[in-house]
C-alpha cells in the first residue's frame, strides 16, 4: 500500500506474513519523499528487496546478532582470539548495543560511541587508546557485515563510521651485535636455557609461541636448520598448541654459534636425565621441506 503523509512524503508498506507466536500480521514500511510516482518506485524497490531476501520481517536486536555470530565463529578461532572477542563483546559491545534493534543503528550513534570510548571507555573510566577503539570497530563491523549477509540489514552502518586514526611512530632500532651479545651473556648468568631462548629468538626471528613449541625433531644440528610449524598459546591459564599465526611453516637457517648452544643444551639435558635415572628421547629429525 501507499499512503501520503505530507505534501511530498509518502509511506509505502508491504505485508510479509504472520508471526507464528502471536499470530500478528507483519508489515515492512519505508518513507519516500517526492511525488506519487516516486512512492510507486519506492514500493517496487521494497518488494524486490523482500523477494531477494535483503529485508526480513524482523531483524532482531544487536544482542541476538552478536550471540548468534559468536556461536558460529568461535569454534574456528584459536582460544586466545575467541577469548579476546568474548571480552570485547561483553565489555564494550553488548552494554551499549545489546538491546538496540539492528535497524535502529545509525552511523552518527556509532561515531558518538567511539568518542565516548576514547574519553572514558577504559578501566575505571580511563581513556581508551585509539588502537583499542579500532579493534572494537573492526569486530563490530564484521558482525554487522554478517547481518547483511543473513538478510537482517540492507547495509552495514559501521562501514560508514569513522574510527579514530592511529598514528604509528617510527621506531629506530639502535642495538648492535655487541648489545645483543651482552644481553645473551646477562641472561646466561640467570639461566642457561634463558640465554639459549634469547639467542634462538635473535637468530631466527621466530615468535615467542613458536619458539616455545619447538621440539628436538624440529632442529637439525647437522644442517644448521630449524623448522617452525607450530606455536603454543595461553588462554585462561590453559596452554594449547596450534598452527603458526600466519598458518604457514618455515625452514630457517641458523648460525653455527646458536647451533653450538643447542648442542650444549642437549648435552645438559642428557646429563640431567642420566642423573635422575631417566632417558631423553632419541633425536629423530623431521624431514624438513
pLDDT for the residue numbered 222? 86
pLDDT for the residue numbered 240? 83
Instruction: Provide the terminal-to-terminal Cα distance of the chain, rounded to the nearest Å.
Output: 68
Using CA atoms, how far apart are residues 42 and 209, in angstroms rounded to an integer? 56
Query: Is 177 or 55 the better-scoring residue by pLDDT?
Result: 177
Phi and psi of 167, rounded to 5°?
Answer: -95, 110
The number of CA neighbours under 13 Å toward the Cβ of 201 is: 18
Examine the pLDDT at 18 and tell me if it is beyond 50: yes
For residue 126, CA distances in Å to 47, 72, 87, 96, 123 come to 48, 33, 17, 17, 6
Q: With cut-offs at 50, 70 and 90, classify the pLDDT of residue 56.
A: low
Q: What pTM did the predictor assign? A: 0.59
CB contact at 8 A, 154 and 59: no
- Residue 274 cell numbers, joined: 642420566
Phi and psi of 11, rounded to 5°?
Answer: -115, 125
Using CA atoms, how far apart are residues 61 and 46, in angstroms rounded to an integer? 21
Query: Is 55 or 193 the better-scoring residue by pLDDT?
Result: 193
pLDDT for the residue numbered 116? 95
Amino acid at each position: 500500500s501507499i499512503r501520503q503523509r505530507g505534501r511530498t512524503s509518502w509511506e509505502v508498506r508491504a505485508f510479509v506474513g504472520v508471526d507464528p507466536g502471536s499470530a500478528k500480521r507483519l508489515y515492512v514500511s519505508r518513507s519516500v519523499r517526492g511525488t506519487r510516482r516516486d512512492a510507486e518506485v519506492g514500493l517496487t524497490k521494497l518488494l524486490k528487496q523482500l523477494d531477494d531476501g535483503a529485508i526480513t520481517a524482523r531483524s532482531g536486536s544487536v544482542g541476538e546478532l552478536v550471540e548468534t555470530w559468536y556461536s558460529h565463529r568461535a569454534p574456528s578461532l584459536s582460544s586466545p582470539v575467541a577469548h579476546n572477542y568474548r571480552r570485547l563483546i561483553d565489555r564494550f559491545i553488548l552494554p551499549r548495543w545489546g538491546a538496540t534493534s539492528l535497524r535502529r543503528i545509525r552511523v552518527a550513534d556509532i561515531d558518538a560511541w567511539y568518542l565516548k570510548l576514547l574519553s572514558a571507555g577504559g578501566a575505571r573510566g580511563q581513556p581508551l587508546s585509539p588502537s583499542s577503539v579500532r579493534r572494537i570497530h573492526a569486530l563490530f563491523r564484521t558482525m554487522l557485515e554478517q547481518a547483511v549477509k543473513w538478510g537482517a540489514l540492507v547495509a552495514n552502518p559501521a562501514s560508514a563510521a569513522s574510527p579514530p586514526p592511529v598514528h604509528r611512530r617510527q621506531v629506530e632500532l639502535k642495538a648492535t651485535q655487541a648489545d645483543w651479545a651482552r644481553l645473551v651473556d646477562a641472561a646466561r648468568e640467570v639461566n642457561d636455557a634463558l640465554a639459549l631462548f634469547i639467542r634462538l629468538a635473535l637468530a631466527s626471528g621466530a615468535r615467542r609461541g613458536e619458539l616455545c613449541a619447538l621440539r628436538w625433531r624440529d632442529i637439525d644440528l647437522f644442517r644448521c636448520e630449524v623448522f617452525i610449524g607450530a606455536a603454543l598459546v595461553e588462554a585462561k591459564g590453559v596452554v594449547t598448541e596450534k598452527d603458526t599465526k600466519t598458518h604457514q611453516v618455515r625452514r630457517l637457517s641458523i648460525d653455527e654459534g646458536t647451533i653450538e648452544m643447542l648442542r650444549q643444551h642437549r648435552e645438559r639435558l642428557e646429563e640431567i636425565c642420566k642423573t635422575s635415572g631417566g632417558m631423553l628421547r632419541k633425536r629423530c629429525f623431521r624431514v624438513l621441506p
